[in-house]
Amino acid sequence: MPELPEVETVRRGLAPVMEGVVIERADVNRPDLRWPFPTNMAERLSGQKVELLRRRSKYLLADLSSGETLLVHLGMSGRMLVSGDPLGRFVHEHPPAEKHDHVVFHMQNGTRITFNDPRRFGAMDLMATEAGATHKLLAVLGPEPLGNDFHEKHLIDALKGRNMPIKSALLDQRIVAGLGNIYVCEALFRAGISPARKAGQISAQRIGALVPIIRDVLSAAIEAGGSSLRDFRQADGELGYFQHSFDVYGRENEPCRTVGCTAHISRMVQSGRSSFYCASCQR
């Protein structure tokens, strides 16, 4: 499932061709994805200007001139593909329709944006923009890891006394929004913390040091264009390539990249997810 850097990469790819542009027509080709689409979604989108394209955690949010916001979750295999871009950033001509093109946005500037999702784990919803923070999917989210509300005191307080493994705690979207399996593994490696350590037993100093490390890992991934595991693509169809920089994720039995370390990367399963780590460097 795309994590924060992948979703932010898609947002940055879509913003130049969507923000300030009217959705001339929206085609909704099926009644649902993960859950049913909102009532009259095509009609509510058609003719509306996209005032702003935002991201909250792993969700794309398009604020519309109607006073509503379109919420988009890419799911496991969802892609937002751009064609016919008048700015010349995307060279793709409009391709023939494909089986899994579930929602198509025909923009007034000639751009076509297609939401393609073979597994149909993605989702879309419409909500009043002014009430967006109370939406059931957004209201429970913690601070953005790249925002000002994510700081040492917040993380230290949030993890104090927690008996769960630090890996599980950092995946809790109520503690910090947008982190997923890949980037938690990478951050814990850089911090030298074992994913199995109980969150409440780690010193405040080490917890506090995680904050800039998490920011650095996410920022590097965004600048690299996101990861291209499984089905993820950027908005222009190009692969992300941060996976070439992974220190531990997916590198089971490969040598640790820490200078002087002779250990190999290990893998354990935590809550149904694979955690990759170096048993020598991470304590």
Q: What is the pLDDT of residues 4-42, one digit of tens each?
A: 998 998 898 899 899 999 999 999 999 999 999 999 999
Q: What is the pLDDT of residue 230?
A: 45
Q: What is the pLDDT of residue 229?
A: 44
Single out the catalytic residue among 58, 190, 233, 251.
Answer: 58
The pLDDT tens digits for 76-130 are 888 888 888 666 655 557 778 889 999 999 999 999 999 999 999 999 999 999 9
The pLDDT tens digits for 125-158 are 999 999 999 999 999 999 999 999 999 999 999 9
CA distance 237 to 91: 10
Query: What's the token pair of residue 214?
Result: 């998490």
Residue 66 contacts residue 45 (beta carbons within 8 Å): no
Residue 49 is among the residues annotated as catalytic for this protein? no
CA distance 55 to 225: 16
Compute the residue count for the chain: 283
What is the H or E stretch that residue 114 is in?
A: strand 112-116
CA distance 116 to 98: 8
DSSP-based three-state secondary structure for 242 = helix
DSSP H stretches of helix in the chain? 4-18, 41-45, 152-159, 166-171, 181-191, 204-223
Residue 21 contacts residue 108 (beta carbons within 8 Å): yes
Pairwise pLDDT comparison (221 vs 242), residue with the higher score: 221
Residue 3 is among the residues annotated as catalytic for this protein? yes
Question: Which of 252, 282, 280 has the alpha carbon at shortest distance from 267?
Answer: 252
What type of residue sits at position 2?
Answer: P
Lowest average pLDDT, out of 15-19, 217-221, 229-233, 235-239, goes to 229-233
Kindly state the percentage of the chain with pLDDT values over 90: 77
Q: Tell me which residue has tokens 């307080």.
A: 157
Q: Is residue 200 packed enough to be buried (19+ CB in 10 Å), middle (13-18) or exposed (0-12)? A: middle
Taking residues 192-203, what's their average pLDDT?
98
Q: What is the pLDDT of residue 212?
A: 98
Residue 160 is among the residues annotated as catalytic for this protein? no
Measured between its terminal Cα atoms, the distance across the chain in Å is: 28
User: What does the angle CA 227 – CA 228 – CA 234 come to, to the nearest 5 degrees?
Assistant: 85
Write out the DSSP string of 37-54.
Answer: PPTTHHHHHTT-BEEEEE
245 — pLDDT class (breaks 50, 70, 90): confident
Query: What's the token pair of residue 118?
Result: 């073979």
Single out the catalytic residue among 2, 5, 145, 195.
Answer: 2
Domains of the chain: 4-134 (3.20.190.10), 152-278 (1.10.8.50)
- Check whether 172 has a pLDDT greater than 80: yes
Lowest average pLDDT, out of 90-99, 218-227, 251-260, goes to 90-99
Q: How far is CA 90 from CA 87, 102, 163, 172, 234, in A?
A: 8, 21, 49, 36, 11
238 — pLDDT class (breaks 50, 70, 90): low
Residue 242 contacts residue 223 (beta carbons within 8 Å): no
Residue 58 is among the residues annotated as catalytic for this protein? yes
Lowest average pLDDT, out of 48-52, 134-138, 139-143, 237-241, goes to 237-241
239 — pLDDT class (breaks 50, 70, 90): very low
What are the residues facing 177 on neighbouring strands? none
